[in-house]
Amino acid sequence: MRPKWFDQWNKDNPTSVRGLAILIAVMGSAVILAVVIIGLGNPAQTSSMQTGPRGTAMYVPEFDVSLRRGDMTVADFYTDEPFVPERGEELAGDIYQNVQVLGGLTDANFNRLMNAMTQWVAPDQGCAYCHGDVALEEYGEDNLYTKVVARRMIEMTQSINENWDVHVNANAQVGVTCYTCHRGQNVPDNIWFRISPVNSAMAGWSANQNRVTMTSNFTSLPSDYLETYLLDFERIAVHDLAPRVENLPGDPLIQQTERTYAFMNYISNSLGVNCTFCHNSRAFYDGAQVTPQWATASLGIQMVQELNADYLVPLADVYPPERLGPVYGDPPLAACRTCHQGYQRPMEGLNVIHNWPELATTSGDYDYSAFEQ
């Protein structure tokens, strides 16, 4: 039995246990969460891919949960095995009017590819997206800009697969089709237009900075790097490592350095990798210490420059005003993210060209040998 003074003291000095209860609840929740993570697996667990020598931080980490989820558009890729041509079959160019590309295909393979293109680019509109709501006999007419653009895009796809095999198929046969960029949409995601100057009110060289944009990946780095490097063919470079160095004519300045950083940031985000995927962290500046991926990426940059210059920019007069850029009225252009969409290899390295030899060559000599019985 407690003495009376003890009970009186407790009565005169009441103590709240709320804080203690909260502390116990938080600690208990933490213990329960730890048990759940141990039992079910850590959702923030990462896996890494080593890209260079040990001890140089040359690795690319990825969350396991992201690796398990993967690219959701891969499941929607439509494909169909070709029909191996038989001797004497009539060709599409002899059957239909105005077949300027793919005329050397048999009727069955021509229509098979046309059906696939609707699945890849216009699954809702179907054939009418390029040909219009007209009779079959009128499909040869070029009344819609979409058909003219589609014809040129077929030629571009063939050129990529044939002339840029060293980039597209660097590790294994992957190839590209219309779906690689379009993913079931009329207009691909991650196209771009010229937007500079972003900031014209700043005295001197604005560097297109202090205006955070999606193009700059929400940094204050320059936003005109895509047009500078992928459209104007300027040299990608950084300034001298030494301080107070005397610049000679043609040497890169701090402006080019910042623009290069912006471009590298864009490439990293486009492929879902970090800087050490291509560069050695102990010597970013040394081209002799880069990884093999650096060469593949460099070829990719050259490829995109060619695609923009030879295929996309010339379509400026074909597109209607609503499909042109908001500032300069320029046509939609491509860059790394247009194909990669956040993955090291587009569509996680799915071989999309295997069933489509028609899109793998510009010569018209389609190789069906892999499908012969």
Per the annotation, binding residues for heme are 114, 127, 130-131, 153, 167, 178, 181-182, 264, 275, 278-279, 336, 339-340
Report the alpha-carbon distance of residue 361 to residue 354 in Å, rounded. Answer: 12
Is residue 48 within a helix (H) or strand (E), and if so which, with residue range? Answer: strand 46-50
CB 296 within 8 A of CB 170: yes
Per-residue exposure over 349-365, b if at least 16 CB sit within 10 Å of its own CB, e if not: ebebbbbbbbbbeeeee
Report the alpha-carbon distance of residue 278 to residue 280 in Å, rounded. Answer: 7
Is residue 110 within a helix (H) or strand (E), and if so which, with residue range? Answer: helix 107-121
Is residue 49 within a helix (H) or strand (E), and if so which, with residue range? Answer: strand 46-50
Residues tagged in the binding site annotation: 114, 127, 130-131, 153, 167, 178, 181-182, 264, 275, 278-279, 336, 339-340
Report the alpha-carbon distance of residue 262 to residue 207 in Å, rounded. Answer: 11
